[in-house]
């Protein structure tokens, strides 16, 4: 399913995590203790609602993590917009 996520876009609610600030093994499989500690710290501090992280697959792209511990999490809304199937050419 394709899902639309709306989050408040006030200043200070989003943190961008550049590659050079991430733990050394941020993209390791299985995940590293350092990366887990980084994420846990971010969650518990609850200073930002959204953390933009590099994609493991395409580091130039970003993934957005939404913090359920942030005081404004209740303002996040999600809606299923339509069914979604990956293009079969991706699996060849």
Residues 58-71: tens digit of each pLDDT: 888 999 999 999 99
Question: pTM of the predicted model, to two decimals?
Answer: 0.83
Q: Which of 16, 2, 4, 3 has the alpha carbon at shortest distance from 49?
A: 16
pLDDT for the residue numbered 45 = 96
pLDDT for the residue numbered 57 = 87
pLDDT for the residue numbered 7 = 93
Q: Is 42 helix (H, G, I), strand (E, B) or coil?
A: helix
Confidence band of 36 (pLDDT split at 50, 70, 90): very high
The Cα 3–Cα 79 span in angstroms is 6
Q: CB burial class (10 A; 0-12, 13-18, 19+) of residue 70?
A: buried
């Amino acid at each position: 399913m394709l899902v639309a996520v709306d989050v408040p876009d006030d200043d200070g609610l989003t943190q961008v995590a550049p590659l050079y600030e991430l733990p050394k093994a941020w993209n390791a499989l299985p995940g590293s203790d350092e990366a887990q500690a980084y994420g846990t710290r971010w969650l518990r501090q609850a200073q930002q609602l959204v953390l933009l992280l590099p994609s493991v697959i395409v580091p130039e792209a970003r993934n957005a993590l939404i913090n359920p511990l942030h005081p404004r999490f209740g303002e996040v809304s999600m809606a299923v917009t339509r069914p979604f199937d990956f293009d079969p050419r991706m699996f060849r």
